[in-house]
Amino acid sequence: MSLLIKNGEVVTASERYEADILCENGKIVRIERGIEAPDAEVVDAAGKYVFPGFIDPHVHIYLPFMGTYAIDTYETASQAALVGGTTTLIEMCCPARGDDPLESFHLWKSKAEGVSACDFTFHMGVSRYDEETAAQLRQIVAEGISSFKVFLAYKGAFGVSDEELFHVMKLAKELGVIVTAHCENPDLVLEMQKKLVAEGKLEPKWHYWSRPPEVEAEGTGRLMTFAELLGTHVYVVHLSCKESLDRAVAAKRRGVNAYVETLIQFLTLDMTYAELPDFEGAKYVMSPPLRHKSNQEVLWNGLKTGLVSTCATDHAPFNFKDQKPMGKDDFTKIPNGIPSLEDRVNLLWTHGVMEDRIDIHTFVDCASTQAARIFGLFPRKGTIQVGADADLVVYDPGYEGNISVKTHKMAVDYSAFEGWPIKGRPHVVTVRGEVAARDGEFVGTLGRGQFLKRVPSHF
């Protein structure tokens, strides 16, 4: 069946105009005023914006981590994503150091296929490097993956050595693959953790002091050094602070092909949340940690000026009741992550556009278009044009409400933004021309999501 969205104001990363949008067979086929399509399902977008479907370039759905598993599945996460306006997920496939990379890729993919209600693809995690790994990575790229993920953290679990990093990035350059990286210094983190634990500093608030900004900045600078030497294109995930951004920007000015991602958590929360008493701070433990509030305006300005390309979530949901308490007596054992998949778009709108920190085009760009461009999905995703997938968000700027665990679709048992007001939310969300969410409720089809094959483009 055809879908016709009428009377809306279309907004992309670069354009803004009034038009109707006709969708057929999952694609946008006409964009103009006064379209008539008697047999089409009609969505009246009068008084609302029509945005391209939003893309979260950094999520964890299936995640074995720190002795437990992330609590969401693609059934819950894809519904949450769609209700929040996100129509495409890029998940981190994160095999541990001893795991088989190709088997891991197929395992992660199997968790989404036939289950997800939204489209999906992956960054392929590389936790070791040898000849066998290299051959498997080549096969994974041939199967449609065009980005790798490395951890400069979590020594002995996910982390790679500098020697391995060199070879991963060398291979990526050869294949035209972009390398995404968690940038910290694993040895500094480990030694700082030991020091704090020995001093009896075990509460959640001490997590910050085990990986202060200098630790993240060192990792960021190290990645930039490798990228500059090898010519590899790199993407810093979840950048949290001025010190790290300074390293990335300096490298960009030297000609390094580097992109920066920040998170909605770093734009809206600060380190005082992780200092809450009675273990409440554990809800806000993530890596890198929440920073001093002064970093927020630095990151907002980075989005505004284009020095920061994307706003993601690093969605990693662990229950407060029975998972976060694994670190009740030792902060180093608290499963890391602040779930926010469902709330990213509305928080970015409320605290970005509505508070004049970014304009409406930057909003679309950092939450959709840049991710599509960087990761080989544009113009199929990330924009509104004839021939693009009909992933559309009819957004109601007049809505006012509050975030709450009582209403969210994520499987996790708390909200890091409990009670926070939002101004605006998706009215209708479509995935390839099918209405999948309406006014905060999922109305789509589980299993309809497709794996998005991508072709390397970062030569």
Identify whether 84 is part of a domain.
Answer: yes
Segments of the chain scoring below 70 in pLDDT: none
Indicate the number of domains in the chain. 1
Phi/psi of residue 69, each to 5°? -130, 145
Q: Extract the tokens encoding 37.
A: 């399509």
Q: Extract the tokens encoding 126.
A: 């590389």
Q: C-alpha dihedral over 237, 222, 147, 88, to 10 degrees?
A: 10
Identify whether 323 is part of a domain.
Answer: yes
Identify whether 29 is part of a domain.
Answer: no
Identify whether 181 is part of a domain.
Answer: yes
Residue 206 carries which side chain, given as an amino acid letter?
W
Q: In this predicted structure, what is the pLDDT of residue 429?
A: 98
Q: In this predicted structure, what is the pLDDT of residue 324?
A: 98
Q: In this predicted structure, what is the pLDDT of residue 285?
A: 98
Angle, CA 274 vertex, CA 271 and CA 276 arms, to 5°: 115
Q: What is the CATH number of the domain that holds 193?
A: 3.20.20.140
Identify whether 419 is part of a domain.
Answer: no
What is the C-alpha to C-alpha distance for residues 127 and 115, in angstroms, rounded to an integer?
27
Residue 99 carries which side chain, given as an amino acid letter?
D
User: Helix, strand, coil proportions of the chain in percent (round to 5)?
Assistant: 35, 25, 40
Q: In this predicted structure, what is the pLDDT of residue 257?
A: 98
DSSP letter for 289, please.
P
Total number of residues shown for the chain: 459
Let me know how many helices (H) and strands (E) the chain has, helices first: 13, 19
Residue 342 carries which side chain, given as an amino acid letter?
E
Q: In this predicted structure, what is the pLDDT of residue 156?
A: 80
User: With left for phi above 0 and alpha for psi between -120 and 50, is residue 47 left, alpha or beta?
Assistant: left
Q: Which long-range contacts (CB under 8 A, 24 or more apart) does 359-364 make?
A: 359/304, 360/11, 360/16, 360/49, 361/11, 361/12, 361/13, 361/14, 361/16, 362/13, 362/303, 362/304, 364/11, 364/12, 364/13, 364/51, 364/52
Q: In this predicted structure, what is the pLDDT of residue 76?
A: 98
Q: In this predicted structure, what is the pLDDT of residue 157?
A: 85
Domain residue limits at 321: 53-374
Angle, CA 24 vertex, CA 19 and CA 25 arms, to 5°: 150
Q: In this predicted structure, what is the pLDDT of residue 312?
A: 98
**Pairing mode, strands 392-402 and 49-52:** antiparallel
What is the C-alpha to C-alpha distance for residues 3 and 49, in angstroms, rounded to an integer?
17
Identify whether 253 is part of a domain.
Answer: yes
What is the C-alpha to C-alpha distance for residues 297 and 85, in angstroms, rounded to an integer?
25
How far lies 80's CA from each of 59, 325, 388, 427, in Å?
12, 25, 23, 14
Identify whether 176 is part of a domain.
Answer: yes
Q: In this predicted structure, what is the pLDDT of residue 393?
A: 99
Identify whether 427 is part of a domain.
Answer: no
Residue 208 carries which side chain, given as an amino acid letter?
Y
Q: Which run of H or of E encompasses 42?
A: strand 41-44
Q: Model-level pTM?
A: 0.98
